[in-house]
Structure 1
Amino acid sequence: MPKDDLMPIGVFAQRTGLTSSALRFYADSGLLPPAEVDPVSGYRYYSADQVVRATVLRRLREIAMPLAGVGAVLDSGADAASRLLDEHVARVVGNAVAAQQKAAVIKSALGHAPGLPIAALKGPVLADAVEQVLTATAHEPGLPELAGLRIEASHEAVTLTATDRYRLSTRTLVPAGPPTQTWAGTVDGDELRVAAAEIRRSPLVQVEAVSHGIWLRVAGREDRHCRLLPGVFPDHRLMLASLGEVTTRVTVPKDLLLRALEEHPGERIGLHVAGHGVKVVSADDKRPGIPLSATATGQALRIWFELTTFYPAVSTAIGPDVMLDLRGHDQPVTIRSADRGDLTTLAMPIKADHAA
């Protein structure tokens, strides 16, 4: 190749973001040999065709991919390369989570303080409650507490609460024995979600608080540690206490309501309550509403929701029938089982003009 079509190593380094020393290393490792080496001076020259390979190589190293993996990606087709990237990222994330958990365990051990027994709960019940309530979490920059589950133990019960500011879900559990301590903390939701799969198979789980988290201790299985999150959890008790009077109440089969929401074509849905009937309606009024076999009492009302807010609130309700307590088109709706009150979810509506 004519020298005029080649770049010296310094120019190629500027084009690709790799240092000259890195280029020499990758040449010696066989990942990016130069297009030509001057036999007298030893100067290395690269072609324009190598810029893409060098840039991809640099980006792969930036995500800590080992040299063997880099070579495999560079020499693979698009589908195989994507698979290799996914596998690498999964390993990195898994290692980071494991390190984070181990660091939290070490921090707890550094205090030399014994754990504080909180309550004993049935494993399957606790696992179900964790998964139900965690549907109301969100990962928001600067608000780590919204990705957590608030655990509050009184002398009578243990309450789990989560909120993403558009939904609030809370469930009250009756312990196997009276809680030994009053305690409250916001626990990492992702770690609890992983722990739920393990504790589901345990008849009894002992919840124990330590300085930076909680332990879920089970007989015959590995104990699970979950970190406490920083940040102040929203004052959900004030929100619940300030709810207005219920003006409309709807009781509807859960499966029928979910099916109507699934068949609804839009991202925003409306509930139209009139007389004793209920319909799932569209914002443009051009599509016929989906009537539901439901019982309705109180004032006529049309209220709008984001599907991503309303659907998970309904889907996690316990039992075959759900009860919707409505307070007006701009007030939170309470969603709960028609015959069980230990799981309650609040969902925020949207303005009518936002539904269009």
Structure 2
Amino acid sequence: MPPHELMPIGVFARRSGLTSSALRFYDDCGLLAPAEVDPDSGYRYYSAEQMPRATVLRRLREIGMPLTAVEAVLDAAPGDAARLIDEHVARLHEDAVAARRKAVVIKSSLSDVPGLPIAALKGPVLADAVEQVLTATARDPRMPVLGGLCVEAAPEAITLTATDRYWLSTRTLVPAESAAATPAAATWTATTPAATTWAGTVDGDELRTAAAEARRSPLVRVEATPYGIWLRMAAGREDQYCRLLGEEYPDHRSMLASLPAVTTRVTIAKDLLLRALEGHSGEHIALRIDEHGMYTLTTGDERAGHRIPATVTGQALGISFAQTTLYPAVSTAVGPDVLLDLRGADQPATIRSADRGDLTTLAMPIKPAPAT
């Protein structure tokens, strides 16, 4: 290659974003050899065709990829390279999650405050409740607390709540036994009562992972620390630790307390309603409720609707929801029949089991789509 078409190492370094010392190191490693080396001076020269490889190399190192993996990516076909990058990122995420959880445990161990017994719960019941309620969480960098689950404990019950501000899911669990009734172990002793009241917001991802282990434990004892909660499992199972989120949780209790009276109540078969929602192609769905039942509408036009048998009491009503709000609220309801308590086209709707279970969801309606 003619010398005027080559770049000295300093020029190539500036254009590629790599330092000259890094380029010499990558040459020695065999990852990026120069196009030519002056036999007298030993000076390295690079070609423009080498720029894409240098750029990818720099970016891979920026995400912490080790040299052996970098070499594999650079020499792989595009599909295999993408897979290797995904695997590396997944390992980084797993390592970060593990480090964060260990850090929280370490911080907790540095505190002189002993763990606070909250309650003992049946493991499978706790796991079900966590998975049901966490469907209402959201990943919002502006409000990380929306990715958490609010835990409120009292001697008679523990309430789990999650919200993404458009819908809210809550479930109340009755303790399986008091702390005084549990076998003496760690901070749980015959003379240590459960906490009178306690509240905190637990990291949703960590709690979701912990729920898988809790499902296999007949009994789980919940214990609070300044930075997280311990889920103490039955003998033979590994205890799980979930960190607390420091941000203040949205004031959902005031919202629940200020809900207006129900004006329309609908009792409907869960499977029938889910099938109607699954068969609906739009992002939004309009419902018209009258004494004859419920109609699902695509554009507000009755001719485009689908009638679902339902028992209706109260006022006739038209109301619209986003599919991403209504469908998960209905699908997580417990039991064969669903009860919809409606308060108007612009008020939160309550969705719960018609006959059993205490899982309750509030879904915000939207403005109906204009007819076409």
TM-score range, shorter chain: over 0.9
Residue 6 of structure 1 deviates from its aligned partner by 1.1
**Superposed, which structure 2 residues align to 1:1-356 within 5 Å?**
1-178=1-178, 180-181=194-195, 182-219=197-234, 220-283=236-299, 285=301, 288-353=304-369
Amino acid at match of 2:313: T
TM-aligned CA distance change 1:2 to 1:287, over 3 Å:
farther
1:355 Cα offset (Å):
9.1
Matched positions, count? 356
What displacement does 1:286 show? 8.6
1:197-233 alpha-carbon deviations (Å, 9 max, x no partner): 0000110000001110100001221100000001111
Report if aligned partners of 1:269, 1:355 keep a CA contact under 8 Å in 2. Answer: no
Does 271-280 or 190-199 show the bigger shift?
Answer: 271-280
SS of the aligned residue for 1:222 comes to coil
Partner Cα separation in structure 2 for residue 347 and residue 170 of structure 1: 12
Residues 300 and 368, structure 2, Cα contact 8 Å, conserved in 1: no
Q: How large is the RMSD of aligned CA atoms in angstroms?
A: 1.4
SS at match of 2:175: coil
* In structure 2, distance between residues paired with 1:166 and 1:192: 22
Q: Is this contact kept in 2: 1:156–1:178, CA < 8 A?
A: no
The separation in 2 between residues aligned to 1:348 and 1:355, in whole angstroms, is 21
The SS at the match of 1:352 is coil
Counterpart amino acid of 1:196?
Answer: A
Query: TM-score scaled to structure 2, two decimals?
Result: 0.93
Q: Deviations over 1:14-67 (max 9, x none)?
A: 211111111111111100000100101111111111100000000000000000
Question: What is the aligned-residue identity percentage?
Answer: 71
Q: Distance in 1 between matches of 2:176 and 2:371?
A: 46
Please list every run of 5 or more consecutive structure 2 residues that lacks an aligned counterpart in the other structure: 180-193
Letter of the 1:192 counterpart = L
Contact 1:125–1:200 under 8 Å retained in 2: yes
- Asked if the contact 2:108/2:226 (under 8 Å) is kept, the reply is yes
Shift of 1:341: 4.9
Deviations 1:51-100 (A, max 9, x none): 00000000000000000000000000011001101110000000000000
The SS at the match of 1:113 is coil
Contact 1:157–1:178 (CA<8 Å) still a contact in 2?
no
Q: How far off is 1:293 after superposition?
A: 2.0
